[in-house]
Chains A and B, each alone.
Chain A
Amino acid sequence: MSFEWPWQYNFPPFYSLQPNANTQHKQLAAWCSLVLSYLRHHKLYTIDVLEAQESPLFHNKKIQRKFPIEAIQVVLEELRKKGNLEWIDKSKTRCLIMWRRPEEWGKLVYQWVSKNAMTNSVFTFYELSNGDDTEGEEFHGLEEWLLLRALQFLQSERKAEIITLSDSKGVKFF
């Protein structure tokens, strides 16, 4: 299934940061949702800003428009405010993107656990993200750092407990 671009993607003004506050608000909202859905489609969790500018996400070759780097920063900052992004380095060249926030992931995992009546059982992280049982689930293939955060959220909700095993991590759901 190929990625379906929003209508704005082929609208040249989409690639110039709009000076009108109202317009800019709408524009940034469109960008945020595009960035998240694009990464989600391609199951990407990190962005290198410079690399991303050359990717189809920010560079529309068909209409020959490229989103300027300053504007990308504005969009990413907007995502950070919403809790979907964390900078990896101080100079803000790389970032982690969570197209679902950790608590959302946590909820998804817990839903699956309770649906399959597997509360009170123990899983390794690997089983959860790459095991046969979770095949087809949305959190299948989730990167470990994000899974850890999702489970940490569940732990704070007292729905799970993270156990440190010898070479890997495990979790017990309640």
Chain B
Amino acid sequence: MDRFVWASGLLEINETLVIQQRGVRLYDGDEKTKFDLGTVVLSTHRLLWREQKKHDCCIALLLSQIIFFEEQAAGIGKSAKIVVHLQPIPPNKEAGPYQSSKYSYIKLSFKEHGQIEFYRRLSEELSQKRWERISVSQPMQSPGRSQAGRVRAAGIVGIERKLEEKRKETDKNITEAFEDLSKLMKKAKEMVDLSKLIANKIKDKQGDISEDETIRFKSYLLSMGIANPVTRETHGSGTHYHMQLAKQLSGILQAPVEEQGGMMALTEVYCLTNRARGMELLSPEDLVNACKMFEALNLPMRLRIFDSGVMVVQLQSHNEDEMIASAVETVSERGFISSEEYAKLVGISVLLAKERLLLAEKVGHLCRDDSVESLRFYPNLFLTRD
């Protein structure tokens, strides 16, 4: 912050306005400053900050003093920032709001957004360096002198120091970001607990709340997902983990699989499960391994692999013969059917519809007509007729 000088707030001759943005707070390094609500103005020569209420309070910074700058993404309760790294103070600096500062960088915090465009224009200006070509009448430092300042900061030690600084900054940013994440996760768990509590309360006094509202609330709860998902952290790795996972899966899948007519493609299961788990996502591999456990654990689900390699989860009670019979019946009624039509008719995915028809073909109840139009299935008249 000590690089800023008091300014009139007016642009000089030859100086052009590039972009301005309201609602910007200045940070001295990582600390907030009293310059908390203002308009930041980017000109071809300077970076100005003007207080939004009192227009006479205005400070400025030469663009030539900027070494580099970087974006800092917004977090929860945090505005997006642009971190601007500055050169050391030039010897004959004019008076400014800060006499000294322990930081060599400032931050612009964008409360009302606009940082993306601002960042773009700032990088344009810094690469064009228009302040070097068009000098202004104001007694600014000549570019030459600022160059001298840069030379002093250079050298191997200078570069090393800069790199170190940058590394530290990145480290900090990363830690901050992860802090946010873990906080969010903690909150998510609390939210689920809370919703569970409310759900129980609703159950207890059914009368107080209307049926419609209960249903809506329950649907919210459902989309909140599994309260305490089985994770590698809680259940270790390997078989035990997969066994526990299988048990949980069979619990949550029961209703949706039944709805789908007793069979669900593994991809759908994957999406559904991970949606329900929210934060503790499951890898496809773990899912397959857990599904393979269904049979050994005597759960009401089965992983079935079709000849084509398509994997589905189906209910154990799911009756294949019935399914084939219904497919054959549909085909006989309509004369012939393609898997797309069948999928639409029964309300399952095309993939599963095709598997069903192929299954019926395999046992000899259907036969195929593979023409240029599409693959259609017919009742197997070869076997039934004559």
Q: List residues of chain A with CB under 8 Å of any chain B CB.
A: 7-8, 11-13, 15-16, 18-20, 22-23, 26-27, 30, 64-65
Is A13 touching B378 in the complex (CB atoms < 8 A)? Answer: yes
Closest chain A CB from B374 CB (angstroms): 11
Q: Answer whether A26 and B382 are a contact pair too, CB < 8 Å, given A19-B361, A20-B364.
A: yes
Contacts of A7 in B (CB 8 A): 381, 385-386
Is A20 touching B367 in the complex (CB atoms < 8 A)? Answer: yes
How many chain B residues have a CB neighbour from A under 8 Å? 17
In the complex, whether B349 has a CB less than 8 A from a CB of chain A is no
Is A65 touching B371 in the complex (CB atoms < 8 A)? Answer: yes
Is B382 touching A30 in the complex (CB atoms < 8 A)? Answer: yes
Closest chain A CB from B223 CB (angstroms): 43
Besides A13-B381, A15-B371, A26-B383, 19 new A-B residue pairs in contact (Cβ under 8 A), listed by A number = A7-B381, A12-B371, A16-B367, A16-B368, A16-B371, A18-B367, A19-B361, A19-B368, A20-B362, A20-B367, A20-B380, A23-B361, A23-B380, A23-B383, A26-B382, A27-B382, A30-B382, A64-B371, A65-B369
Against A, the Cβ 8 Å flags (1 = close, 0 = not) of B328-357 are: 000000001000000000000000000000
Q: List residues of chain B with CB under 8 Å of any chain A CB.
A: 336, 361-362, 364, 367-371, 376, 378, 380-383, 385-386
Closest chain B CB from A7 CB (angstroms): 7
Of the candidates B364, B367, B386, the one whose C-beta lies within 8 Å of that of A13 is B367
Is A18 touching B378 in the complex (CB atoms < 8 A)? Answer: no
Interface centre among A11, A18, A20 (most CB of B within 10 A): A20
Is A12 touching B382 in the complex (CB atoms < 8 A)? Answer: no
Contacts of B381 in A (CB 8 A): 7-8, 11, 13
Is B378 touching A11 in the complex (CB atoms < 8 A)? Answer: yes
Q: Answer whether A23 and B367 are a contact pair too, CB < 8 Å, given A11-B378, A12-B336, A12-B376.
A: yes
Sample (16) of A-B pairs whose CB atoms are under 8 Å apart: A7-B381, A8-B381, A12-B369, A12-B376, A13-B367, A13-B381, A13-B382, A16-B369, A18-B367, A20-B361, A20-B362, A20-B380, A23-B361, A23-B383, A27-B382, A65-B369
Contacts of B336 in A (CB 8 A): 12
User: Nearest residue in A to B362 (C-beta to C-beta)?
Assistant: A20
Closest chain A CB from B1 CB (angstroms): 78
Closest chain B CB from A139 CB (angstroms): 30
User: Nearest residue in B to A17 (C-beta to C-beta)?
Assistant: B370
Closest 9 CB pairs of A and B: A12-B369, A16-B370, A26-B382, A13-B367, A13-B369, A13-B378, A23-B382, A16-B368, A18-B367
